[in-house]
Each structure stands twice: as C-alpha cells, then as structure tokens.
A and B are shown apart, each in its own frame.
Chain A
Amino acid sequence: MSLPLLDIGVVGHTNTGKTSLVRTLTHNRTFGAVDNRGGTTRTVSGVTLEADGTPLIRIYDSPGLENAPALLERLDRMGSQRHDGPTRLHRFLAEPDSRRAFDQEARVLDLTLTIDVILYVVDVREPVLEKYQDELTVLGYAARPVIAVLNFVAARDSREAEWRDALARVRLHTVVAFDARVRDFATEEHLYAKLRSQLDAFAPTLDTWLDHRREEERQREAAALLSIAELLVDAAAARRLTPVDRREQPIKSLRELRDAVRGREQVCVETLLALYAFGAEDFEDDELPLENGYWPDDLFAPETLRSHSLRTGSHVSVGAGIGALVDIGTGGLSLGAGTALGTLIGGATGVSHSLGPNLWHRWRGHAPVCVDDQTLQALAIRQTYLLTELKCRGHASTETVRGAHGGQTPDSELLRLLRKARQHPQWSSLNETFRDSHGRAKMMAGVTQLLTDGQR
C-alpha cells in the first residue's frame, strides 16, 4: 500500500529561523542559507524526506512574512467570502497588482494553499506584536492546520509563556517548543506526534517516518561507537620499535607513534562528523598529547604471559584435535601418535607466533613502545565527548564544537580491556603486521559495548 505524501510548509515572520528548522528536520546543513538577518530566504524551496527510497514528506521553506498588517487590511477590504478564506486568498492572488505589492507574502500564500499543514515559526525572544497576530489571521484564511513552533526557547530572554498565552487567545493550542540550534530527537518526535494528532489521514506516513528516524538514530549512534572502539583498539595495539639502548629517549619512535595515532584520531573525528552530517569546520580541538610511551617488553610479566599462554593453548588444542582425528581415521592403529604430534606441532606454532616476534626483536636489540594509558583515556574521552556534542547539535548551529578538556571520570573497565589489546599488535591497523581476525572483532565488540553502556 502506498503511503500518502505529506506536504509541510514552514512559514513565519522574517528571521525567525524557518530555514534553520528545515535544516534541523532534514539534517541537512547545506539546505538554503542561514544568516542572522532578515530576507535571507527570498523564494520557496523544498526538500523530500524518504524512508528506504519511498518519499514520505516534503518540507517547504518559504520567505518571511514582512507586511502582514497591510495584507490583512487588503484582504479585509475585499469584503465578500468572509467565511471562505481560501477563495478570498485565490481572489487576492489573481489580482494584477497583488504580487507586485506583496511579493513575498504572495509566495507564502501560494504555498499555504497547496500544502497539508503549516508550521508557523515564532522567535520567542520577540515580544508578541500585533503584526505577528495579523500573520496568524492571514494564515488562517488558508484553512490548513497550523502548528506553532516556538524557536529559541532555550534563550535567556525567551518569552515562551507570553507567546503560548497569545497563541491560545487566537485559538492556536497546538504548540511545540523546538530550538532549531539544538538537535534533540525527543523534540523531533514530539513535533511529529503533534502533526499526527492534526492529520489523521497521514498517520501511517508519519508512523513510517518516525520508525525510520528511530532506526536511523540507533544506527548512527551504533556506527559512531563502533568507530570510536576501532580507534581505541588501533591505538592500544599500536607499537613502534626503538633501540633498547635509547629507551630513555625514544624520541623518534614516540613521534612516529604519536603521528600515527593522531592521524587515526583525525579519521575517527571525520567519521563522527560525517555520520551526523557535519563538516570539518564544525569541530576544533587541540592535538592529542602523547608525551610518554608504554613499554610492554617484559616478556615474563603476568599479563604478557597470560596472553601468550592463552594463544599457545588455542594452537595446542587445534593441533591435538586434528591429530585425534587422524588417530580416529586410522582406527586407533596410530596408537595416539597423531594426537601427540598434533599437540607438539600446535604448541610449537603457538609459541613461535606469540613469542617469536618479540624474541626476534629483542635479539636484534629493539624494544616496542606502545601508547600509554593516559593517552588511551584521553582518546576515549575526546571522542565520546564529541559524539555527545554532535548528538545534540542542530544543523543550523554556526558555532564550532570545541574539544573536551578534562573533567571526565576514567573508565577502568575500558582501560583493562584496552590493555589486553596492547598484547596483540596484529590487531592495530597502524602496524604493518595488521590482520583482521575473530579476536579483534571480539575485542571491538567488547569495547563498543562498554562505550554504549557509558553513553547510557
């Protein structure tokens, strides 16, 4: 069954944030032009919202109403059709000089006669002036449901209560507070719920759109957290080699490591910004500090040994399993030699895989240097802070997001997990030995889960 296409017109006085509202509803920061000046939008322009390729909603931005008092007087002078607003508007628009005298208003009236619902945007920092009440009266002639959208409700000089009272006096009770500079999905849901309450015929369309939006939000957040988890695992497992005799001053290795991690962090930042439809110009941060490295070269440290024994153990079990199959295949004639040999080969492969590279580097006089706990912590805080900011950033916002600077509580469980990743240099895409593996995927799932818990 095809769903009816809902046409929404965003109208209001000049410079109340109509284009900002359209940008925020469409998550499109390039739609129209936004400026703190009147008359920025001079024409009607629209954008279609689709769910899985199906167009559901068309949102039209319009020029600001600037001369409603004169327009209302003109309409009132027309006399006839007092109780038939649309006919009166059609007559007005058909008159030869109406478009010359009321250019922007005529465009808005043309729009209101073709859409299904009007979103009337109010800048609640403004006092309730008579000209705004005139605008509502004129819009009423279009005989379309009107929903008042109160913009800038978070401002210090907001007059929200005054406006709600004034709107109620003209029998406009469907009012939504929606600050276009702030992106809040709950408010967006609220707005669509109001639309649904006014438009029974479009309930299936709005339900489908809301389901789509919920899924979109969930996917976006999950992708962002996965992206952060991947950065953290890449950084934790990253390592560079430095000569053992220069361990006190590993400047070159640390610089290489720092550059690699910074580059990787930049990719993560770009991904987060792109996921929430923002650009590089929306974020500004200091460079990641990485002054001291971490030295994981103690081969007999408990953590290292635990990791090596686990890896060797898994190779031993695979070898023993294959050997046992051979024993079964020979009908027991091999007297368990297959199992024994498989165990030996598996064990030797495990040891050579886990300890081999370290021993080889040590023998050549090199020791690895890794990213220290403090830097890993800083990375996690910076990225989760950016995500939190982006989640509530409106697409009309022109201010730059600044990076996080301290204040967050360290997550010991996350660090514990990342220390494990440090034992697996093959898990970091910043190392030449990088390989995709089930172990890496499992680690990433664990880190993502912790980050998700943290977001909640």
Chain B
Amino acid sequence: MALNIEGWLLAEAVRLAEEQHGRFTDDVSANALARTTQGDFADRLAVRAGALPDAAESRQDIRRLRRLATGLAAALLAAGTVAGWAAAQTALAARHVDALMALGALLGVPTAMLLLWLALFIGGRRQGHQGRLLGAVFSAVLNWSAPRLLRSRLAPQLVRSCFRLSLTGLGRWLLSSVSHGFWLAYTAAAMLAMALHFSLVQYTLTWGTTILEPQTVATVIEAIAWLPSALNLMPDANSDWIVAAREGAETEAVRAAWAQFLLAAVFLYGALPRLILGVLCGAMARYHARRPMLDCSLPGYLRLQDALAVTAQPGVDDDAAASPPPRARHRRAANAAGPPLLITVELEADVDTIGLPEVDAQFVGSVDTRAARHQLEAALGALDRPPPGLIALCSLLRTPDTGTAAVLSHMAEVADAPLLLALNDGARLAERGGDTGPREADWRRLADAIGAECIVLDRSDLDPSTIASVRRWLGDEGGKP
C-alpha cells in the first residue's frame, strides 16, 4: 500500500503524541494489524496509526485541516488578485504616466520576491528555508484556528504534523506552488487592469532622466523590450518610439507600442516565470504527494520497530519428547557385602580429597572418560558379591544430562546395588551466580528417572545429619536416606 498525505499526517500526529505522553496502551490490535501489512516499515506505521481508536476522529480533523489549507490558499490567490489590480490602478491613476516608474511599481515587488525565493531555493534548500516564510504564515493561522476548528484528541499533534509537513520536500513544493500562484494572480490581475485601462483610457506614456545620459536609459528600455519583441508580443524596439516618448512627440502608434511594451514586460518578466515555476512546483508536489516519506529513524517510530516486526519462524518442530517417567529404585541384593562403593562424576576437585568422610566408602573410579568408564564397568562386574550401595559423587556445577543418567544407571545395574547421588559444589555454583535450587531439582529429576536416591552435601561444611542420613540409607535396604 502507498502512504498518502492523510496517512502521513496521522502517523506523525500519533508519533508526536507518543513521544510526548508515552505509547498508547490500547495499541495491541493496531500493532497486530500492522504486522500483517504487506509493505515496508513506513507502511506498517501508517496502518498502525490508522487502526488506533482515535484515528476516525483524527481523520475528520485532517479533512477540516485540508479544507482550511485550501481556503487559505484560495484567500491568498484572491489577495494576490486584489493586490495586483490595486497596484495597476495606482500605477495608472494619472493620465500622464511615467512608463518606467509604472513598470518598476508593478514588477519590483514580484521580481524581488522571485529573486528571494530563488536564493532560498538554491542556498537554503538543505536547511529547509524554501517556503519558510509562507510556512510561518500557515503555521500562525493553524495555531490560531486549531483550537476553534479541531475536535479530536490528537488535534494539537495534528497542527504540529502540519508544521512538520511544511518542512518536508512535499511541504516546501506545496508552499512554493502557492507562493507562485499568489504572484501569478498578482501579475495576471495587474495585466488585466492595465489592458482594461489602456483599452478605455488614453494615456500619455513618457520616460525621463535627470542625471543619467538619455542614451543609457534608452539602452535599458531596448534591452527590456528585446525579448517581448523577439517573441512578437510587441513591435520591434527601435529608437524612434523610445525617443518620441522622451520628447513628448508621441503618436497613437507610439502610445500603443508603449502600452504593449508595458503589458508584454509584465507578462514575460512577471507572470510567465511564476506560471512556469508554479506548474513545476505543483508537479513536484504531486510527485512527492504520491509517496510522502516518513522519517522512520525518529525515536517515536524506531521504538516500534520490534513491535511491528514481521517475525518469520522457519522450520520449527514443536513435538518435543515427554520427560521419562520415574523408575523404580534399585534394590539392595540379598547377598550384598563389603563397604559401599564411591564413584565420581565430572568433579573438579583433586583425587586426594575425593571420598565421603565418616562413611566408609571405597573409591572405585570415575565415569568422566570412555576409558575410565570401561575400567569401572570391568571392576564392578568383577566383584564377588554386590556392594550394599553405590554412591555417585556429582557436582552441582554440571547441568545433568541424559548421557550422565544413562551411564550412572548402567553402573548401578552392573554393580547390582542401589544408587545414591551425592550432590556437591553448591557453594561454588552460588559463587558463580547460579541458582542452586533449580539445579538441585534437575538432579533430583535425573535421580528419579534412573531409580536413584539423591542428597545434597557441602563437603566444606558437612552437616552431621547428612552423614547420618547416608548411613541410614546404607543400613536400610537402600531405602530413602
């Protein structure tokens, strides 16, 4: 979808309101709708703004603003027409008219304003000076009329949006075309008034100079008249009718030539450039209006990037396997004898410190490597009688996994003995910033899955009750410690 001026103004108003007061709390469905929109981020922003609860009222306000802007432009054109007519009336008020002064009076202000516009267009385009003066006029009128005219909750922000629109390329072209329209109306009305006066009234058109050489002024007149005469808008500029007007020896033909000179000069140097520029600016405004650009890098828009992002989720599988059910505990064999056996699982402690004090357990090896596992498996399988218990000293620093579970379960089966997981290193896990509670729970779940018992012990500060519970487990047919 293409963003239009109405969408642009609404999106800007929403942005300005959210930057001022925070994000709308009721934007969930608007965001969802925006995410389904085909198009880029700017399109999604426009859709979101249009789907917010206040959008309908705001749109009505935008229509009011559009009518106000159209009315204002029409008023400016009317004012230009009146000003042009009045300027021509003033210049031709007396029957004896100084032609050069009249030309200056009619073309002076429009030419000065045209040069100013060109200077701002060329020099100030990057700074956004183009159309700034007229923009200020529009802004002042809007600020005055908005509280009287607009009714939606976003009314103040809509006024600000209009101001911001005047700073964009589209706004500048629009304001420029209105400005050229004003001066076109001015010069057209002046030409019409002059044509009317020259048709109905006989004027004495002269020129003169006090301090300049007459020839210099005549050269200037010839220069001004060159283009109109080249375009056949007036007779050839020759020294005869120029000198005749100077000496007051003018004939009807000379008077008509001077009248044509004035009309053609106002048309060529006043109306025509404005007509061309007006059409050009209008065409440019129309071009920009087809796709007004939202500045999506502004904080109010950029913050919505994640909320409006279309999240593609490729190749998702969602049939996760269920956790294995708890398994029955290993029972102690009837012919069990000897000390309980101790194995270690991925501990970081030195081998000398391995062992469970005050529990007479015999260390038989670790399960950390393939070779160690095979060695341990061989040792357990070679026992004459099963041990009363197999204690696996595990570290809470390790995350329990199915591999560890399978190995421990297999060792308990080979040893034909009940299995006890003694969890160590809780203090070190806490030092690392880890949460011991969930980790213990994970190990207990693993113990349940392989039919083992589980206790937590801190070897740096062994609790006597823990030792007692281990002893109880060893003497209690492999029941709960």
Interface of A toward B, CB cutoff 8 Å: 13-15, 27-28, 35-39, 42-48, 50, 52-53, 55, 58, 60, 63-64, 66-70, 73, 103-104, 107, 114, 125-127, 129-131, 155-157, 219-220, 222-224, 226-227, 230, 263-264, 266-267, 270-271, 274-275, 277, 325-326, 328-331, 333, 429, 434-436, 438
B286 at the interface (CB under 8 A from A): no
Q: What would 6 A/B residue contacts be, using CB atoms closer than 8 Å?
A: A67-B401, A127-B348, A129-B346, A219-B297, A223-B302, A274-B307
Q: Which of A44, A50, A53, A429 contacts B315 (CB 8 A)?
A: A44
Say yes or no: A36-B434 contact (C-beta < 8 A), given A46-B316, A271-B299: yes
* Residues in chain A near residue B442, CB distance under 8 A: 37-39
- Chain A residues, CB < 8 A from B298: 223, 226
A223 contacts B297, C-beta separation under 8 Å: yes
Which residues of the partner chain B approach A226 to less than 8 Å between Cβ atoms? 298-299
Given A48-B314, A67-B406, decide whether A224 and B299 contact each other with a Cβ distance below 8 A.
Answer: yes
B161-201 with Cβ < 8 A to chain A: 163-164
* Contact flag A331-B101 (CB < 8 Å), given A42-B320, A48-B312, A70-B406: yes
Cβ-defined contact, A13 with B401, below 8 A: yes
**In the complex, what residues of B have CB within 8 A of residue A14's CB?**
399, 401
Partner-binding segment picked from B16-24, B241-249, B331-339, B463-471: B16-24
With A and B bound together, what is the CA distance between A48 and B104 in angstroms?
68
Q: Tell me if B472 is interfacial: C-beta within 8 Å of chain A.
A: no
Tell whether, in the assembled complex, residue A331 and residue B302 are in contact, meaning their CB atoms are under 8 Å apart: no
* Stretch touching chain A among B108-116, B213-221, B229-237, B251-259: B108-116
Interface contact B401-A38, CB-CB below 8 Å: yes
Which chain B residues lie closer than 8 Å to A126 at the CB level? 397-398
How many angstroms from the CA of A328 to the CA of B105 in the assembled complex? 7
Q: Determine the distance from Cα of A308 to Cα of B374 in the docked complex, in whole angstroms.
A: 91
CB distance from B36 to the nearest CB of A (A): 15
- A329 near B87 with CB under 8 A, answer yes
**If the complex has contacts A43-B316, A271-B300, A329-B87, are A67 and B306 also in contact, measured as CB distance less than 8 A?**
no
Q: Are A131 and B403 in contact (CB-based, < 8 A)? A: yes
Check if B57 is an interface residue, CB within 8 A of chain A.
no
A47 CB contacts on chain B under 8 angstroms: 311-314
Known contacts A14-B401, A67-B403, A436-B164; decide if A58 and B314 are in contact (CB<8 Å).
Answer: yes
Total A-B residue pairs with C-beta atoms closer than 8 Å? 156
- Is the beta-carbon distance between A35 and B438 smaller than 8 angstroms? yes
Q: Which residues of B contact A155 (CB under 8 A)?
A: 432
* Docked pose: A289 CA to B415 CA in angstroms: 69
Chain B residues 402 to 438 lying within 8 A of chain A, measured CB to CB, are 402-403, 406-407, 432, 434-435, 438
Cβ distance A214 to chain B, nearest Cβ, rounded Å: 14
| Neighbouring B residues of A127 by C-beta, 8 Å | 346, 348
Q: A455 to B88: give the CA distance in the assembly, Å.
A: 61
CA A103 – CA B322 in complex, angstroms?
A: 10
Asked if residues B303 and A274 are in contact (CB atoms below 8 Å), the reply is yes
Set of chain A residues within 8 Å of B407, measured between Cβ atoms: 69
User: What is the bound-complex CA distance between A44 and B321, given in angstroms?
Assistant: 12
Determine whether B460 belongs to the interface, using a CB cutoff of 8 Å to chain A. no
With A325-B113, A328-B108 in contact, do A267 and B19 touch (Cβ < 8 Å)? yes
With A37-B438, A37-B439, A53-B40 as contacts: A325 and B112 at CB distance below 8 Å: yes
A424 to chain B, nearest CB (A): 15
Contact indicator B403/A331 (Cβ below 8 Å): no
Task: Known pairs A37-B442, A103-B321, A267-B22; list 4 more (Cβ under 8 Å).
Answer: A37-B439, A67-B401, A226-B299, A267-B21
User: Chain A contacts of B113 at CB under 8 A?
Assistant: 325
A43-B320, A223-B299, A267-B19 known; A36+B435 contact, CB < 8 A:
yes
B190 CB, min distance to chain A CBs, angstroms? 11
